[in-house]
């Protein structure tokens, strides 16, 4: 699967919008988790990584009116040279969200869509857990993360049902947790974790 721009250019595009630091961290974590998931699934890590990096490409410019989130993404991505397939996968992470009028009645059907939605959602849980552990992710264990996953009061806004969509790919929840932790640990210095 061809990508029209390099990672550096994608990052430049995101940074040109002056994203909040936490949002940029979210994009980087989503990228890194998607890369690991791709390797585990035998898919293309560059393609999966680019989806993770750019999935919220219009968030900075739409966040003050959440109902418009993902309405600007197609134009931005199209202009950057991405094809309709890539754009549709980006949009699919908003499927089912009641806040998004255009997407709320759609549902994900493809492995790559489940992987993106589950990955970007799991980053929130791992980051929150890392903060609780004194910003430490390098020695985080699947067992501990699983406990937090089961504790619905912890990071309560983090949609467990979307994380569970990973089971519609060839990964188990445990395998997913393990490679997501590894993905985030790989970029720990960049995102202020240790
Ligand atoms: Fe996101």
CA of 134 relative to ligand 1 center, distance in Å: 23
Task: Select from 115, 130, 128, 141 the least CA-distant residue to 39.
Answer: 115
CA of 11 relative to ligand 1 center, distance in Å: 15
Q: CA 139, CA 151: separation in Å to the nearest integer?
A: 20
Reported as a single tens digit per residue, the pLDDT across 31-66 is 999 999 999 999 999 999 999 999 999 999 999 999
Reported as a single tens digit per residue, the pLDDT across 77-91 is 999 999 999 999 999
For residue 66, the tally of other CB atoms under 10 A from its CB is: 12
Q: CA 51, CA 30: separation in Å to the nearest integer?
A: 8
Instruction: Give residues with Cβ within 8 angstroms of 73, minimum separation 6.
Output: 57, 58, 87, 90, 91
What are the chain's domains? Answer: 7-186 (1.10.3210)
CA of 42 relative to ligand 1 center, distance in Å: 23
Question: Mean pLDDT in each 10-residue stretch from start to end of the chain (194 residues)?
Answer: 95 97 98 98 98 98 96 98 98 97 97 98 98 98 98 97 98 98 98 98
CA of 21 relative to ligand 1 center, distance in Å: 14
Longest dimension (CA), the chain: 43
3-state SS class at 140: coil
């Amino acid at each position: 699967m061809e990508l029209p721009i390099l990672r550096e250019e994608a990052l430049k595009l995101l940074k040109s919008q002056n994203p909040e630091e936490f949002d940029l961290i979210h994009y980087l974590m989503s990228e890194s988790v998607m890369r690991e998931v791709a390797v585990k699934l035998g898919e293309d890590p560059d393609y999966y990584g680019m989806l993770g990096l750019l999935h919220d490409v219009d968030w900075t410019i739409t966040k003050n009116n959440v109902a418009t989130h993902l309405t600007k993404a197609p134009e931005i991505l199209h202009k950057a040279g991405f094809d309709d397939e890539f754009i549709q996968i980006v949009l699919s992470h908003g499927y089912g969200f009641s806040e998004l009028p255009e997407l709320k009645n759609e549902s994900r059907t493809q492995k790559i869509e489940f992987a993106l939605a589950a990955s970007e959602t799991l980053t929130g849980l791992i980051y929150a857990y890392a903060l609780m552990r004194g910003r430490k992710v390098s020695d985080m264990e699947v067992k501990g993360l699983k406990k937090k996953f089961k504790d619905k009061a912890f990071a309560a806004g983090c949609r467990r049902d979307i994380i569970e969509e990973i089971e519609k790919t060839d990964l188990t929840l445990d395998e997913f947790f393990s490679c997501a932790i590894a993905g985030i640990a790989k970029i720990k210095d960049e995102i202020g974790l240790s």
